[in-house]
Amino acid sequence: MKKEGKKSKYGQPPTPKQFPKLRRLPQYDECLRDFVASGDKIWVINMAELPSKNPRTVLSSLKWRTRNKSEFKGIRAFMNKGKIYVEKEKT
C-alpha cells in the first residue's frame, strides 16, 4: 500500500510536482548592477523595463537584493511620490 500525504477536511500538502519552485528574476539584479557601474549617486528607476509594473513589488524586490546580496551592500532603495529611487549610502 502506497503511503500518501495526510488528507484533511480542508486540503492536503502538495506533491513536489504540484508545488512551483520560486525563482528570482534577473532583471532586478541587472538594474542594480547598471546603477553600481554608472558611478552616479542616485537614480530614478524606469519601471517600464522591469517585469512588474507594481511599484510596491519593484521596491520590495530591490530592497530584498540590497539586504541579501553582498554585491549590492551600501545601496538604498526608496519610494517618493510614486517613483522609485536607488542611491548609494554614505560610508
Domain map of the chain by residue range?
26-88
The Cα 81–Cα 23 span in angstroms is 30
pTM score of the predicted model = 0.73
pLDDT score recorded for residue 12: 77
Select from 80, 55, 53, 75 the least CA-distant residue to 65: 75
53-84, pLDDT tens digit by residue?
999 999 999 999 999 999 999 999 999 999 99
37 residue type, one letter:
A
17-59, pLDDT tens digit by residue?
777 777 788 999 999 999 999 989 999 999 999 999 999 999 9
